[in-house]
Amino acid sequence: MAEDEDTRADVAGATDEAGVLVLAGTPIGQPGDAPARLAEELSTADVVAAEDTRRLKRLTTDLGVTITGRVVSYFEGNEQRRTPGLVDDLLAGNRVLLVTDAGMPSVSDPGYRLVAAAVEAGVRVTAVPGPSAVLTALAVSGLPVDRFCFEGFLPRKAGERSRRLADLAAEQRTLVFFEAPHRTEAALAAMAEAWGEDRPAAVCRELTKTHEEVRRGRLGELVAWAAEGVRGEVTIVVAGASPAAAISTDEASLRAEVQAREDQGMTRKDAILDVARLAGLPKREVYQAVHVR
């Protein structure tokens, strides 16, 4: 009887210890790209929280894995409601595995809310590193990779999108964005408007999948290409601005730079675009400096 009581005490003590939250990267296209640890974590986790349980089922079938733990849905529409329960699972000593449809949880996918709550509760958070559309697109873009920043999805509304791009006009690091296929043309057009049509960029579509395509060119060229329609999951990579020190950004200097280009035979429109590109400014700021006095 004493041994049974001791055993029960040990079990109770174990459940009082916090568990572990595991963020698992999943393939962005080819199931074979899944890290080896993913199958192990899926088969041993006490709880698997999935952005889409149907996609999870397809993934486990591809990997030949049987999930023995509890499966719950965890997506944008229910993550606020589901997070407290998952934290309770963690505090009870469970190993909770979080997977999203593709790539790393919390990177433009559900997960940040749960990570923040777990950290606040003193729970250990770790990850199974896996494929990333951000890094894959950056690597194949042909653009500088030594310094970059990830901006996620641009705002859907045109005005908010323009303001976001204006804020990034002087950013010298390579920029990476996610975009929906039906908004790709509008996003590229807004970038060309804000940063100039000559800014180098790459549109990466359906990365690692059968119909993978990487279209490289100037923003103006890519706008024309996207006008024909874009399908699949899209990642856009854009070169950073040229060093702002190349041109002074006070209004008098901007006017002088535009005038100098006009004197050399450039149209005013092209002169403004060139100065905006070199100064790392939105085109409209140079336009206002030239026309509003």
Q: Say whether both 126 and 138 belong to one domain.
A: no
Q: What is the DSSP letter of 197?
A: T
Beta carbons of 4 and 77 less than 8 angstroms apart: no
Query: Exposed/middle/buried for 50, CB within 10 Å: 0-12, 13-18, 19+?
Result: buried
Asked, for residue 4, whether it belongs to a domain, the answer is no
Asked, for residue 12, whether it belongs to a domain, the answer is no
Picking from 238, 256, 274, the residue at the C-terminal end of a domain is 238
* pLDDT greater than 60 at residue 125: yes
CATH number of the domain that 121 lies in?
Answer: 3.40.1010.10
Q: Say whether both 127 and 142 belong to one domain.
A: no
Q: What is the DSSP letter of 32?
A: G
Q: Say whether both 287 and 219 belong to one domain.
A: no
pLDDT digits (tens, 9 = 90+) for 16-60: 478 999 999 999 999 999 998 999 999 999 999 999 999 999 999
Q: Residue 49 belongs to what H/E stretch?
A: strand 47-50
Q: Say whether both 200 and 215 belong to one domain.
A: yes
* Phi, psi angles (nearest 5°) of residue 237: -120, 130
Q: Say whether both 171 and 81 belong to one domain.
A: no
What 3-state DSSP class applies to 16?
coil
Asked, for residue 203, whether it belongs to a domain, the answer is yes
| Neighbouring residues of 81: CB distance < 8 A, sequence distance ≥ 6 | none
* pLDDT greater than 90 at residue 9: no
* pLDDT greater than 60 at residue 82: yes
Asked, for residue 285, whether it belongs to a domain, the answer is yes
158 is in which domain, residue-wise? 134-238
- The strand pair at 234-238 and 174-179 is best described as antiparallel
| Sheet with strand 174-179: strands edge to edge | 148-153, 174-179, 234-238, 200-205, 213-218
Q: What is the DSSP letter of 288?
A: H
Q: What percent of the chain has pLDDT over 90?
A: 69
Q: Say whether both 66 and 102 belong to one domain.
A: yes
Beta carbons of 169 and 286 less than 8 angstroms apart: no
Picking from 238, 260, 283, the residue at the C-terminal end of a domain is 238
pLDDT at 170: 82
Q: Say whether both 211 and 183 belong to one domain.
A: yes
Number of structural domains (the chain) is 3
Angle CA 277–283–288, to nearest 5:
130
Beta carbons of 128 and 26 less than 8 angstroms apart: no
